[in-house]
Amino acid sequence: MKLFVKRVECKNQTFRKKDKSGDFTIDTTLLITDVPKQSNKFNLNGEEGKRGTISYGMDEMAYQVGLTPTYQNFFKLNLDKLQNLLPCELEVELGQGHDGFERPCTVITAVKIPQTGKPS
């Protein structure tokens, strides 16, 4: 599948809970892409006082990299090579993994890094 990736995020940070009852950790690697968005939940029949939402354009979508969420997937898939290439279109393979709460989710299992050198 081809995705137009605009950002890569790799996080491994530990934070103290507000109530100081302990710590929590964000440990993940994400590829951020734009997807088309269109929503018309507004009654446009001209009546005043109606409420709703109209939105269109592009919205961000984040794909977890790897079957389990960890910053180490950044290095396993050599995503550091994308640093000077983004935003760009990438060939990726999708699979089913799980998020940090053990819920099933669609994940990226492989990324084809584009060649930057000139052909000889």
Domain spans of the chain? 2-35+62-112
In DSSP terms, which residues pair with 59 in a beta bridge?
35
Contact 31, 53 (CB under 8 A): no
What is the structure's pLDDT at 17? 87
What is the structure's pLDDT at 2? 93
What is the structure's pLDDT at 32? 96
DSSP per-residue codes, the chain:
-EEEEEEEEEEEEEEE-TTSS-EEEEEEEEEEEEEEEEEE-S--SS-TT----EEEEEEEEEEEESSS--THHHHHTTGGGGTTT-SEEEEEEEEEEE-TTS-EEEEEEEEEPPP-SPP-
In DSSP terms, which residues pair with 36 in a beta bridge?
58
Encode the chain (120 residues) as per-residue pLDDT tens digits: 999 999 999 999 999 988 988 898 889 999 999 988 888 776 656 565 566 778 889 999 999 999 999 999 999 999 999 999 999 999 999 999 999 889 999 999 999 988 764 444
What is the structure's pLDDT at 7? 96
What is the structure's pLDDT at 74? 95
